[in-house]
């Protein structure tokens, strides 16, 4: 089953990525005109206008030495973002200023900002070649970096890290967990990075077993979400467990519990006033997965 993309935070940008322009230096240069749009960022944090929309300026606002990433086309105008001095691979909860702004955005602005943040953050953290250590330079409008060392000429591309996030079901109840950094009483789907050499299904099974001691089967895909902290693809999945016996790895999670359908319904309906648990925020794919589970 699938979910409407508009319901998933950080998806649904109105910008046309215009891949055919990225590899055309002449067309890219022509787009850097007085009509071009520069996404205003304070480091990696978004700037908003008085209406709570993403603020846009002119390319000259970025300075002569700025590395400009081509985001795509909007209403016939080229859209760019400047690479900040420093990147930041910190977790989402560490960015209060950013989240305060995100909560004011509409869906399209949130998606535009999320994509831009991931991209410019990657550039800020990859100014040197991973093969030889020499400096790299922006290429293809910002969708590539090339090593300047003529004996290397390594090519590097913006990365996306796959994360499996899963609802584990047993006889009508769901297994949810919490990390120590969560607000009190908040529980969410178990999740973890898909490792090299394994499928999504294998990643789901391994992560659930590692964190909770539960073995799962019949893994299926639900829907996905881009997550720009720093650049992950959250792959929502559902799986069945044959047992409710838990063996929690407290180095991975603080707690895990089985919740009945009635408890999940109450949490999603009452949120902070729920007597069972507090669900993940609506911007998180885990929130949409719980809605999917209740509605299917």
Q: What is the pLDDT of residue 6?
A: 47
- Over residues 285-294, the mean pLDDT reads 98
C-beta neighbour count of 120 within 10 angstroms: 25
**Which parts of 41-139 fold into alpha helices (H)?**
96-102, 107-124
Q: What is the pLDDT of residues 253-267, one digit of tens each?
A: 999 999 999 999 999
- Which pLDDT score, from 0 to 100, does residue 95 have? 86
pLDDT tens digits along 31-45:
999 999 999 999 999
Is the pLDDT assigned to residue 3 strictly greater than 90? no
Quote the CA–CA distance of 265 and 284 in Å, as a whole number: 17
Given CA atoms 58, 61, 64, 66 in this order, what sign does their dihedral have? negative
Q: What are the structural domains, with CATH classification, of the chain? A: 5-125 (no CATH), 127-158 (no CATH), 161-295 (3.90.79.10)
Reported as a pLDDT band with limits 50, 70 and 90, residue 91 is: confident
């Amino acid at each position: 089953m699938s979910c409407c993309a508009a319901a998933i935070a950080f998806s649904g940008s109105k910008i046309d990525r215009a891949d055919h322009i990225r590899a055309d230096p002449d067309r890219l240069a022509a787009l850097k005109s007085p009509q071009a749009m520069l996404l205003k960022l304070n480091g990696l944090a978004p700037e908003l206008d008085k209406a709570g929309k993403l603020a846009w300026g002119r390319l000259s606002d970025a300075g002569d030495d700025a590395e400009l990433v081509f985001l795509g086309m909007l209403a016939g105008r080229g859209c760019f973002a400047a690479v900040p001095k420093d990147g930041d691979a910190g977790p989402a909860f560490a960015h209060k200023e950013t989240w305060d702004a995100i909560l004011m955005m509409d869906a399209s602005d949130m998606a535009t900002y999320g994509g831009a943040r991931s991209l410019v953050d990657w550039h800020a953290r990859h100014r040197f070649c991973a093969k030889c250590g020499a400096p790299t330079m922006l290429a293809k409008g910002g969708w590539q970096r090339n090593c300047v060392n003529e004996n290397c000429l390594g090519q590097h591309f913006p990365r996306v890290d796959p994360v499996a996030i899963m609802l584990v079901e047993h006889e009508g109840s769901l297994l949810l967990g919490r990390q120590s950094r969560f607000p009190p009483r908040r529980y969410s789907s178990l999740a973890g990075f898909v490792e090299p050499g394994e499928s999504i299904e294998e990643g789901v099974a391994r992560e659930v077993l590692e964190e909770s001691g539960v073995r799962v089967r019949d893994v299926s895909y639900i829907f996905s979400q881009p997550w720009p902290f720093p650049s992950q693809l959250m792959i929502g999945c559902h799986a069945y467990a044959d047992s409710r016996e838990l063996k929690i790895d407290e180095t991975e999670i603080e707690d895990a519990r089985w919740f009945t359908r009635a408890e999940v319904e109450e949490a999603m309906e009452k949120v902070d006033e729920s007597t069972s648990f507090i669900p993940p925020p609506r911007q998180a794919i885990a929130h949409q997965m719980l809605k999917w589970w209740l509605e299917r």
